[in-house]
Amino acid sequence: MAGKKLADLRKDYSLNGLTEEDVLANPFLQFEKWFEEAQSAEVIEPNAMILSTLGGDGYPHSRVVLLKEVDSTGFVFYTNYNSHKGIDLTIHPVAALTFWWAELERQVRIFGDVQKVSDAESDAYFSIRPRNSQLGAWVSEQSEVIENRDVLTKKLSLLEQTFLDQVVPRPLHWGGYRVIPKEIEFWQGRPSRLHDRIRYRIDVDNVWKIERLSP
């Protein structure tokens, strides 16, 4: 590989610290605070997150998806239910999410149970997507093997004619999932690899407990 050796690649983090006194009592509010700061720092696609699922083959599968909603119940993303991730979530309805905001030297890790959002929620979000994205949801049989890109362009052309001058309806195979967290960890890079890690963990009384983890 050109450039520096992998073993020599390192960066010392020194922008900020994170203490138990710094964080809010509610992890969703703390996430919203950090997310707003990521937007202010002009992080490219601050809602990009790594979604990790567990496949029927026993292996973890990860990919980048986009967060589209967060509230006091969880973190929502949308996808094709027949995709690899959708199949994984049918077999094992659990997932982990990871946000990495390099400009702020911050990471957020989340894991928990997963549920489909309601049809009404999926319909509402689908209705505000750009028309090309709506058509794309019909075009793509996500994760399936295809012969070449022409398969997609020809199908798109056909669907453009099918829905000409019509509202594009949401395909039944497309919709949202909500990750309902059991733990949320906020990670702030610090010098000498002595990073700050503050974890929120839901206890048996459904109360969020705040703990500091060793880096």
What is the chain's Cα-based Rg?
Answer: 20
Which of 63, 131, 193, 212 is the catalytic position? 193
Task: Identify whether 193 is a catalytic site residue.
Answer: yes
The tokens describing 70, both together, are 């967060």
At what angle are helices 131-139 and 150-162 packed, to 10 degrees?
120
- Facing residues of 187 across strands? 107, 197
Distance CA(119)–CA(180), nearest Å, equals 18
Residues 6+ apart with CB under 8 A from 70: 28, 31, 32, 35, 76
Enzyme catalytic residues: 193
